[in-house]
């Protein structure tokens, strides 16, 4: 069973193209929340537009975990990572109904959910899984595209994320996106 809303893997190279940095510079977007030695998770990683820069920022003492539904995206990312010399990336294929990331529960410092939550059939479950993998005080950068996600739908997502056990700590300006940064609260409300 495949989600019909998921970006086809054939478009992965376009989404990871260097020219995209003119609109969404990955270093500028994630560096306020990620530093050397941290563990980062890129959910819906595609072919690594954010994953590779996240692995560089995390450095040798840190790591990046690329999570994607489509094996072709992960194969493309692995080739790009080898070419870039990024040896600290773990490639993880999730399922259609679950991220299946329990092996990292409580160990992730930063998670990125960039322009993909609207493609997920059970956003509530995804956010619950992200909450579980984050270490205490872990942060999530959540962005959705203006063209696909209206203000009301975005605000509904914000409310759902808060109910699962996050607090909004920032609303960064990211071109063509609605965005929020969350921090995991110690106890679900």
pLDDT tens for each residue of 81-139 = 999 999 999 999 999 999 999 999 999 999 999 999 999 999 999 999 999 999 999 99
Structural domain for 144, as ranges: 24-184
Confidence of residue 3 (pLDDT cuts 50, 70, 90): very low
Instruction: Report if residue 141 sits inside a domain.
Output: yes
Instruction: Report if residue 80 sits inside a domain.
Output: yes
Please state whether the predicted TM-score (pTM) of the whole model is above 0.85: yes
Instruction: Report if residue 28 sits inside a domain.
Output: yes
Close Cβ partners of 87 (under 8 Å, ≥ 6 residues apart): 81
- For position 93, what pLDDT does the model report? 98
Instruction: Report if residue 18 sits inside a domain.
Output: no
Instruction: Report if residue 19 sits inside a domain.
Output: no
Instruction: Report if residue 14 sits inside a domain.
Output: no
Instruction: Report if residue 134 sits inside a domain.
Output: yes
* CA–CA distance, 24 with 169 (Å, rounded to integer): 21
Q: pLDDT > 70: what percent of the chain?
A: 86
22 three-class SS: helix
* CA–CA distance, 18 with 115 (Å, rounded to integer): 18
CATH number assigned to the domain comprising residue 122: 3.40.50.150
Confidence of residue 24 (pLDDT cuts 50, 70, 90): confident
Number of independent structural domains in the chain:
1
* CA–CA distance, 52 with 94 (Å, rounded to integer): 19
Q: Is the pLDDT of residue 164 over 80?
A: yes
* CA–CA distance, 120 with 142 (Å, rounded to integer): 14
Confidence of residue 11 (pLDDT cuts 50, 70, 90): low
Q: What is the dihedral of CA 101, 107, 109, 112, to 10 degrees?
A: 0
The packing angle between helices 151-165 and 123-133, to 10°, is: 40
Instruction: Report if residue 32 sits inside a domain.
Output: yes
Q: Taking all residues of the chain, what is their mean pLDDT, rounded to a whole number?
A: 90
- Greater pLDDT, 78 or 18: 78
């Amino acid at each position: 069973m495949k989600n019909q809303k998921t970006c086809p893997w054939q478009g992965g190279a376009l989404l990871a193209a260097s020219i995209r940095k003119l609109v969404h510079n990955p270093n500028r977007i994630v560096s306020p929340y990620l530093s050397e030695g941290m563990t980062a998770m890129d959910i819906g990683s595609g072919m690594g537009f954010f994953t590779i820069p996240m692995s560089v920022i995390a450095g040798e003492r840190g790591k990046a975990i690329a999570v994607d539904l489509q094996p072709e995206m992960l194969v493309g990312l692995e080739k790009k990572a080898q070419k870039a010399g990024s040896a600290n990336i773990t490639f993880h294929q999730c399922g259609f109904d679950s991220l299946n990331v329990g092996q990292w529960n409580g160990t992730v410092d930063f998670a990125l959910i960039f322009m993909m939550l609207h493609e997920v059939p059970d956003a509530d479950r995804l956010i619950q899984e992200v909450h579980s993998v984050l270490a205490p005080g872990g942060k999530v950068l959540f962005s959705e595209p203006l063209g696909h996600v209206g203000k009301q739908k975005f605000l509904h997502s914000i409310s759902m994320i808060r109910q699962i056990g996050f607090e909004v700590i920032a609303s960064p300006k990211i071109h063509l996106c609605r965005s929020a940064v969350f921090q995991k609260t110690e106890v679900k409300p």
